[in-house]
Structures are given as C-alpha cells and as structure tokens.
Chains A and B, each alone.
Chain A
C-alpha cells in the first residue's frame, strides 16, 4: 500500500526528472515514452536468452526501485530469472524479490524451491545467501519452511551460515511472533557458539526476540566477555549493551558503600537551608549510619565476573568506532566503581573531534554524566569551549556541559568565556548563554553578585531578545535576595516602557508585584501604565497585571483601589476565559463583601506568601534513569523496544550460574553434600539425530565444554573443526579432561537420580566437578547446609583468583601507583573499597593478557586455510580468571587507619602494607598510604616531619604531595625499617595549615617477606630450629576454615609468608624471612580429625615467633 502511495507522490515530479537520467544508461536511451511500453520492453529483455540483456533490464528495474517507482507489475517476468546462472543478474533478482515479495505472495512462492535447493549446496556461501534471501521474503505461508531452514542452518558446520541463521531469527520473529518459543531454542543453541563471527549476530537476535530471558546468558557470559574484543564492531555494540543490562541484574553495586555518603555530601542544594532540608539531612544521616553499619557487616567484594567484564571492555575505548566507544563508556558509567569511571572521559572527549552528529549525541550523554560525576570531565573543561563555527545545537549542548562543570575554582574562567559568547551573532546561543550564567549564579553563591551585575548591564543591550532573556534570568536571581536589590527592581520597572517581549514584561510585573514593599512609590505608577495598555497586552502579561493589581490592592489599597477595579473590569470582559476566570476569582478574594467567606481574611497570606526561589536545573537532570547512549536517553522519552536498565540487586544472585567448568584449584572438602540432580533433557534431542555431521550438540544444555567434546567424539572428525580450533585458544586443561567427563556424563545419564545421590557420596573429585555443573544448571533448591558450603567455596574461589592477579601484578605495581597519583581519581573511595580498587585496578594492567598456552590445533578444514590458525594465535585472549591457579595464593591486604577524617579536619589517611619490595631499600617494609581529602578546600604540601623512632629504625619518607584537591584521593608509598620489632614509628603529618601526630605500628606478620624453598630445605631448616626456637600450639579450626585452601588463605593474610609445597595433604607449610635480619620464619599447620589442628612456628627470633603464633592462632580460630 505504502509503495503505491510513494509512487503517487513521485509520479508528478519524476517523469520529467527521470527521463534525462536514463541517458546515463547506455542501452536504454530515451526512446520509450510511456511507462507501460517501457515495462513491455523490459519484459522482453528478461525473457531473452542473453544474460547481458537480462542484466540490463534488471539494472534498469533496480534503478526504478531506488527512485521509489513502482515496478511490481514486472514480478512474474523477474521471478523467472531467480535461477539464472549469472551472479549479478541473480543478485539483482534477489533485490527485486525481497522488495516486492510481500505484495505478490503467491508468485513469490515460485522462487522458494530455488532457495531450498540453495540451502543444500556444498558451498557455505551459497547456503548462506540462500538462507538470507529466503528469510527476507516476508511471506507468511513459508514460515514453517523458514523455521526449518533456520534450525538446520543453526547447526551448520560453517560459522558463516550460522551467522546468517542468527540474522534470520529476528526476521522470522517479526513475520510471525508465534514462533517465539522455537526461536528461543535456536537462540539458546547459537549463544553457545564459540566463534566471534556468530556472537554479535546472535546477541542481536536475542535482544530483538527475547531480551527478558536473561537466564540464557549465564552460561555464555564469560565466553562473550572473552570473545568481545575480536567480534566485529557492530556486534560489540550490541553485546556491550546487553551485558550492561545483564550485569545490573547479577552483580552488586560497586558503589553501594559510597552512594549514600555521596548524596549527603553533594552540597549543591544547600543554598536554602529550609527546615525541610534539615529534616531530610537527619534522615539521611540515619541512612548513612545504617549504610555504614551495613558496609561493616558485609564488605563489598567485586564479583570476578564483574571485573572480567570491566577489564575486557576497557581496550575497546580505543576503538575507531564511535558507537563502540560510547557503548563502553555507558557500561563503565553504569557498572564501574566510581574511581574507575574516569577512564572514559578521555575517550569521549576524543569523539568530540568527530562529525557533528557524533558530537551531538556524545555531548548529550556527557551532559548527563557531568551532573552525576562532575570531577570526571573537569580536566577537559577547555575541550568544551565553543567555537563560532559550531552549529547552534552543538553550542547549546557545550554550554550545558560547561555550566554543569562550573564550580568555585573554575567559575571565573568559565564566566570569562561566557562573556565572549554573549557577543556572538547567534542570538539563540546568546539567550542560552544568559540562562547558563543564571544557573551558574544560583549554583555558586560567590559569583551571584558579579553575575547579577553583568546581567543588569545586558539590560541596556540593543537586542531585545538578549534583554528579555536577561530580565527573565534576573527575576529568578532576585528572588533569592530581593531586599538587597531594590535598585535593580527600580531599573527594571523603567524597562516596561521599552521591552515588548511578553515573557520579559510578565517577569518584570511579577517582580514588582512580589516586592512592591521595596518599591512603594514606583509600583502604583507601573500599574497605572499597565492599566492603560491592558487591552493590547499578551495573555501572559495580562495575568501578571491582574496579579500586580491584586497584590497592590492588598498592600496599598488607598492608592490603587480604583486602578485595581478598573483592571478587573477590563479583565472581566476579556476574550480569554482564563483571564476572565482569574479576574472573577481575585475579585471575590480581595474585595471584602458580605457574601465573601472566610477566605478573604487570608487573602494577604495567599498572595504575599514567601515564595521559594526557583531552582535552575539542568534539563539533563533526570535523564540518567535511561541507559546512556540509548535513543530513549537522547529523546528523554521511552522509545519502542527500550529495555529498562534494572536497579542493582539488594543481594547478589548466585554467581555460580555462570560457571561453565570447575576451575582446577578449588578442592572441595569431602563433607560437602551432594544434592539430587535434575537430568535435563537435551533440547534438541530429535534434531540432533537428523542433522547429521554437524555440531548441533553445542546447544545441548549441559556445560559447553562437555558437550562440545561429545560432539567431537561422536562425529569422528570431519565436521566442526573450526570450532575446535577456536576452542584451542582456551585453557588446555579443558581439553584433557573432556573425554573423561564425557564418559562420566554418559554413565550418569544411565543411572536413576535416587541411586545417584547415594552412590556418588564417595566418588572422586573428578566426578564431583562434573556434577557441580549440573547443579548449577538445575534450579536452585538447596538445603541449608548445601548452600552454605557452596557459598563458601565460591568465596574461596573468588579470593584466590583475586590474589592470583595480585601476584602477577607485583612488577607493575609501582608504575601503577605513579599513574594513580597522576591521574588522581576524582572520588574518595571507601576504606575497604579503596584497597580493593587498588589491587583490582592493577588487574587492568597488561601482565594478565599474556597469550594463552599455545593452542592445540586440530587439522583445519581446507576452506578456512592456515591463515585462520595463525591469526587465532595472534589474537587469542587468555582468560586468567578461568584458568587454574598455579602459584600459591597470597592474600588480600588489610587497611589501617592513620588519620580519621574528623581529627584530620577533612583529611583522612589510611595505610596498608602492600607487601611489595620497597625498591630504594631492601630492609624496609613498604607502607602504602591513601590520602583522601574530604574537606571542601584543597590541601597543599602534604609531607612528613619530625619522625620519632626507636633506635635502629629508619624511615624513607614519601615524596611531598603538593596539592590534593577537595574530594580527591591520592596514594604514596613510604618505607620503614622496623628492625624486626613491632615498635611504632611516630611522626607528624603536615599540611600547609596543620600538623597531625600519627603513628604506624606493624602487625608482626608484616615484618617478613615470603621466602621460597623446597620441601626438603624446609625440613632441613626446621630441624635446625628446634628447642627454644620452636613453638607449638594446639587449636580447633574455625568451622569455615577446614579445607586446605581456607587455611592457606588465612595464614597468608595474617603473615606475609609463602607456601611451601608439601606431599601430605594434612599439612600446610609456609616460609618467610624477616625483613631486616633475614631470619627464617617457618610455619606448619597440621590438621587432624574434627577440625583439630596443630600449629608450629620455628623462628630464630623468639619474640617474633611468639607473636606470630598468637596472630595465626587468632586468624585460624575466628
């Protein structure tokens, strides 16, 4: 239908336009005069035997389509050529078919068999293109055929065909939404695909068909994160947007400890200390306290999967594609801990160099971001300066950003910029600038008077628009402190003679009425003039005249009584009913009559109540509830198909749902109970049988790796190679285990569930691992004990993965710190948070990007050739989180408080023992200090003075920190040689104004550094440290700490020791040397039945030994 209307639109103009264009076509010439005849000719050409004629005809037809002309009557002639041998003819026929099939459904069916044949072609590209066209023909009758074709293609061995299948899914869905359930099955299957080619397309299909089925993502989450960097750009955008939503449902808010504090501190609204506000403040304080308490109870630990997402998306900020950069930026904005969000600013500023449309979208998003996170863009203030050549819409957005960025320190530069803008020729822009000045003036009290004076000067500007805008803004500003500015009000009263812009007139009248007490002489006179011109005013002005009259009548009835009545009489017969209504209402209210009720007594209160000054807010204020970068955000209205960005969950959902395989290092204790398992039926059990040599098993709902190998072994080689080579880039262990797992799986499937629970009680670890996968798949109905043990394990997993990353960091740590100090993260992280961030930020460094263990490449399909393999080697990404830990874990760092922010007058300092070698002096312990400036003013010249030490101790001071701006955080490292004693180091911490006495006392565990030795060396050394040097204690292990992993974890947290390999699994051994004297410290924890254990410490220094025993005892029993 629409096409015919388009045709009609075009008909008039185009026949004349079209003729000369035909001249370009060499063969057509302008011979044919009427449409009818031309089509006849085309039909003839299409029916001929010569390909060249057919091609010519098709080219002309396509040109017609392109111009929007109707060519549907040629359908029968064209559709015949669908099987033409010439590729270009064929392609053009496809173009035609896709365009008109919807209108000529019956005829279109003629072509279907050709495509069905194409679907069976040995060449993958022909299969793909057949599917592509078949699915693009919007004919409802062929829905079953399409469904079948898609299903088949989804298990094709060529990734390119599978990609096409993914593309076909939304097409079929839009044609027939009834097919949703079946399509979801296909999507689920394709989501498990491991090729980058498919990933983007299938996620797109997911987003269009079933964005609510977030559960389908769990199993594929890690894979998607890891593949992301190699997916093509467009797919990256879709995947990142989807993962943002996913992460919001699955992880905890990384800023939960801060968000409440934040609100309390953001002093933007403190200009009006009204009573309500104070009440709110108190409430907020309570909330804050609550939150703090909560934070103490449950320190936030970032889920490693959350971290994985952040880490893997970060390099994409460097993409050349603006959409990808924006997608990553919004992901960071919505998901990253506050301290890390800063990285996106630079990339977004870079986009401002791009085309103006890109700038437009980016600036809109930056405007929203600057409201919440101002600090992030402050360093780039100058990038938002406006050039006279910018389009107006860009200028206005930049102005918005500049206004949002304005604060006490930079306001003077910004105002200077604004001054040049006011002189611009672009009047819309000047008006916007004046409003911006008004907003700066309300937000920053210091400059209010300057701004006001500037604006008053603008009142004498020659351009009326400028004056009018100034009046409106001045009115809003005056409302804040009217008593001070009666002369300005007088000045404005005079303007009523000249200004014609209604909004400005109305504003002036309102001002005079509101503050008539400040200008008692002028006000009645203004009313007199207005009464005269009343009939010629705009409605908005008339309403204000009535208001002015009413207010004057109430305050100064003697002079204005008659004038008021005159105005009210005029208004009574006005054309506008609003004005008539208003007049009637006001007359009743202010003129006391017998009938008038109690209300008139309160007239004064009604009219002359103190009105709160308006808050000038950014139009971008409330936009952040839309996902940034989305169309809905840009329009500030929900667009069709927009998926809400969910709020963070209160408690994290089970993270184990994402586990695909059990990492090697988690050793479950034998106490862990099994649970009955629901054996899931393969989704595709029947189609699997049909589809023959394909790797359909992918979707089989079990863990991906297991089923993958299953398919591999079943298929005896010939298919699915491309898959396997991909897989090669993942961890090797996986492959080794595959066969075994597979056998187990089969065995298990034979058993009945009940038997299983009994028989497997005693089964080995290997099998249990496999089991766990099933558990996770199964619905989470666990008994208490189970869930507990499960959780515990999760904990240890996450910890160890973290610690692992920490180790890999050691080299880059120092570099990192420097970087951190330079970049000055804009926020003040919470204590726990801070430390976490420190270690995790370093995760982003490169060391963990080491190439994967060289992939085992299975012989590759001839088609994909060697280049694929070589490239995979180049591009493969290892996944350190998934790969097993090989090094003994060290542990998380503990933060200590050096200076509380109350005593430090806003400056708070924390320190931790970073356990890194202190490079300037090997005998010193490195102490990492975090300075946070919570005060409102900057802190300068932060340094140490007056160090008081016990004899022998030495200190290497940290370099002076010249400036710590308000709200910022920085880090410094100092070294202390404690001489192997736990004596405190006392010193003064000086700022440019104050000095604080502080002291650092090390726990004994920090006075040593790890020492690596073999089991034999350990025994030998232990033998030499007997008698007085050995201390033994018996203890009962804490309930949560009865597996080896937990013990290692706790001991290494308590003391900076390294694990010594040990043959027996009943014993854990650790070794270290004290920092100053390099005396050996050996620790042994031997576990026995029922959590009983024995702790042995051997150390030359007995004092250290005794103290260490105490500390470790405490760590293990609590």
Chain B
C-alpha cells in the first residue's frame, strides 16, 4: 500500500525518507515540487498527484508536507488518515511536530515508522501500544540514556498488541487516580452583511485525560443526550450501549485521547455569542478608505468572551492601514494584506473598536470586493449547546478516582461577510 514516505519542509527540502518496500528514488518528489510551484498557496497543493509510475498523496501539517508514495490502487483517505495519525503520534511523542524536533529524534521517528507500518500496511497506530514499544523521549530519560547507555526501546514485549483492548496498555499503575474530561464546543458560522446568520452549527468534542490504575470500566452519561445529533467515537466506546441507553461505556486508553466528537442537531438554534458592527468603505476616486469595526457580546449567558482575535484579508489595492484600536493591538502586513487585531477580553461596558483609514494605491480604482472578517474567541465554563455531563461511574476497580469536567466554547470557522 504505502511504499515510501518523504518529509518535505517549507523550503522544499526532503529531510527524511523511509521506505517500506523497495527503495523509490527521491526524484519522484520532483512531481510534487512541480505541483507545489503551480499552487499559489501552500494549502492548494492537490493532495493526490499522479505521476507516470506512482501516485503521491500528501498532507500538510505544521508547515511540513508528508508525502506518501503509492504504487497501486488504495483508498486515498486511507493514506491521508494514516499520515495524519503519524503526525499526531509525533506530536504526542515530541510535544511539537517541527522539522527540528523530527531531526533531533530521527532514530525514534524511524523506530516509530517501522512499527506503524509493515510492508506499507498499518500495523500499530494506537499510541498506547507504541508507547509500550518505544518510550517517548523526555529530557530526563535522554540524560539518563546518555550516561548509562540504556535505551528508549521498551524492554518488555508489546503484549498490548495481543489484547482485545488494543488501545489500553496493561499493568497501568498510578498513585493518584484521576480522570478529566474537557467538553469543548466550537461554533462554525457565517454571518452576512446585515448581521443575520446564514449558517451556524455547533461541533463539539470530549477530550479525556484518564490516569487510572488497572482496567477501569467507565460509564459517562449526559443530562441531555438528545442534543447530540451525530457522533463519532474512539474505538473503545461500546456502540451498543450508546444506541440503546445513550450512555458512553468504555475501557479508556491510558493518557490523553479524544473520546467523542459530536454535532449538535441542527434544529436547535445556535446562540451567537458575539456581534460585529462594521463599516468598511472605499470611495471612488479617492485614495482613502474608511475602516470601522466594533465588537460586542451577545447571548453569552453571563460569561466573559475572552481571547478574541479578529483577522481579515484586505483587498489587494490597500497599501497601508492607519487604525486606532480602543483596546488590544493590531498588525497589518502590507505584503499579504492581512490585518489582525488581538482584542483580548470583551468588556460589555466599553465595547472594543478599531477605527481609522486605509490608504489605497494612487490612481487605482476602488476594489470591488469586500473583505470577510474572521473571529476567534473563547468562553470558559460554558458549553454553548447546553450539553451537560450527568455522571461518571467506574466499575471493575476498587479505588475512588478523582473526577473532573471542564466546559469551554470556542469559535470554529466564524466568519462575518461585509
């Protein structure tokens, strides 16, 4: 299936290659570079590129292209999903997935890739199993290893691979048993010129950090499970229980994992927590444009809107912007024409605004396109859909774990058209 993997950095250098079958010359990447050149933006490189003898399937993450070489028919999503899984694993191991991190840990990376694929077919992709096989490098361990010459390859055999709960490693022990769940919801919305909502939906995830001894069997129930319209589960969740009782029942993997992602049914009206008043105009004939933007909270249920960040791609004709923020800082990049305004927290008493003028290219006619405004924000301690966890129970182990639930709402792809 997957023949080879090349990692390409932003400047177009191949800095790592791995082959699972016969070696494929790295010159095959020339086709990729060609496509890269043709694409105006880095994310516009087509994910699948046919070449005379191979197919290149690539993903772009953290400004690194992961280019897989394929020789025959395989579902493209299979490869793409796998490559993303590889990136996730790197991130899990090294904290970040950058060129430097990969180069520093090239041996671990190689060992990981060796375990993840056999002859191009995925073998072990569960992070729990991999961690049993290859210990993630920590500063302490690196030091100890250099001094004592011991290794970061697990001494014990990967029995997890044989288990029927392949996602959980065996023999887990903690002195403090804790289970934390983060309910994070994102609002995707498009707001039109006049402020009315064109489309809005809520997507949520429950990320868990479970550190429990032994083989705990957890059940998590919701106060209002009917809200969840479409769900996808970590493989540990028992589907039958969910279908029958709307209860999440699972033996969790050890450590961090995404338990559930969901979509809130579209019948429910989505509360939009912020509003934007905008007035962006260009006048025919003059080389000036007006820019006026005010943000305000709306339907936040008394919670503060934090970490607000506004960004907008201004028309190409704009040379510079001379603006005055009432709070926070703004930057304007004259090359990419990207305006971004770091607002911080919205104070309902004193609404943040950004006002001023934009200078246009002299003599150029007024741009006929209007910029869209992208907004990011966070609201702590609230799930905007109203989803509430009812209770978490543990079976199968005797001790009493410490349990915690946190709610948060974020802006997803939140866009205001002007």
Interface residues of A (CB under 8 A from B): 2-3, 5-6, 9-10, 13, 21, 24, 26, 50-52, 55, 59, 62-63, 65-68, 86-88, 91-92, 94-95, 99, 102, 123-126, 132, 135-136, 138, 158-160, 164, 167-168, 170-171, 174, 196-197, 201, 204, 229-230, 232-234, 237, 241, 315, 318-323, 325-327, 346-347, 349-350, 353, 355-358, 360-362, 382-383, 385, 387-389, 391-393, 417, 420, 423-425, 461-462, 629-632, 634-635, 637, 639-643, 846, 849, 863-864, 867-868, 871-872, 874-875
Contact = CB atoms under 8 A, between A and B. Distances in A.
Interface stretch (B158-166, B288-296, B319-327, B352-360): B158-166
A contact patch SS: helix
B415 A355 contact: no
Interface in B4-21: 13-19, 21
A320 B149 contact: no
B contact patch SS: mixed
A234 B78 contact: yes
A629 B77 contact: yes
B43 A350 contact: no
Contacts of B111: 91-92, 95
Contacts of B146: 26
A323 B149 contact: no
B268 to A, nearest CB: 15
B103 A167 contact: no
A323 B121 contact: no
B109 to A, nearest CB: 7
6 contacts: A94-B114, A315-B243, A387-B415, A629-B76, A629-B77, A630-B76
Interface stretch (B176-184, B226-234, B381-389): B226-234
B107 A24 contact: no
Contacts of A24: 103-104
Nearest to A725: B164
Contact of B80 (A21, A99, A346, A357): A357
B81 A387 contact: no
B417 interface: yes
A363 to B, nearest CB: 11
A391 B40 CA distance: 10
B235 A320 contact: yes
Interface in B143-177: 146, 149, 151-153, 155, 157-159, 161-166, 170
A399 to B, nearest CB: 15
B240 interface: yes
B261 A361 contact: no
Contacts of B198: 382, 385, 417
Interface of B: 1, 13-19, 21-27, 40-41, 43-44, 46-48, 50, 55, 58-61, 70-78, 80-82, 84, 103-104, 106-107, 109-111, 114, 118-119, 121-123, 125, 146, 149, 151-153, 155, 157-159, 161-166, 170, 188, 190, 192, 198-199, 201, 203, 215, 229-235, 238-240, 243-244, 251, 258, 261, 263, 313, 315-316, 365, 368-370, 372, 374, 413, 415, 417
B152 A846 contact: no
A360 to B, nearest CB: 5
A95 B114 contact: yes
A639 B22 contact: no
A326 B75 contact: yes
Contacts of B415: 387-389
Interface centre among A2, A10, A863, A875 (most CB of B within 10 A): A2
B25 A361 contact: no
B374 A640 contact: no
Contacts of B165: 867, 871
Contacts of A9: 26-27
Interface centre among A88, A349, A643, A868 (most CB of B within 10 A): A88
B174 to A, nearest CB: 18
Contacts of B155: 87
Q: Which 7 A-B pairs have the closest CB atoms?
A: A52-B149, A641-B72, A2-B25, A88-B151, A88-B153, A382-B199, A871-B164
Contacts of B315: 425
A234 B125 contact: yes
Given A9-B26, A640-B71, A872-B164, 13 more contacts: A3-B25, A62-B106, A87-B155, A95-B114, A232-B122, A232-B166, A320-B235, A361-B80, A387-B190, A423-B369, A642-B73, A849-B244, A864-B163
A132 B46 CA distance: 34
A631 B215 contact: no
Contacts of B70: 631
Contacts of A346: 229-230, 263
A32 B125 CA distance: 38
Nearest to B120: A170
Given A66-B17, A136-B119, A350-B230, A327 B75 contact: yes
B23 A3 contact: yes
B77 A322 contact: yes
A425 B215 CA distance: 55
A634 B70 CA distance: 14
Contacts of A875: 164, 238
Contacts of B103: 21, 24
A938 B407 CA distance: 43
A79 to B, nearest CB: 18
B73 A631 contact: yes
B55 A868 contact: no
Given A350-B232, A389-B413, A67 B15 contact: yes
Nearest to A628: B75
Contact of B22 (A138, A383, A385, A868): A138
A394 B151 CA distance: 45
Contacts of A423: 368-370
Contacts of B188: 353
Interface centre among B16, B48, B58, B121 (most CB of A within 10 A): B121
Given A63-B107, A204-B121, A355-B80, A391 B16 contact: no
Nearest to B71: A640
Given A382-B199, A389-B415, A641-B72, A361 B77 contact: yes
Contacts of B159: 125, 863
Nearest to A866: B215
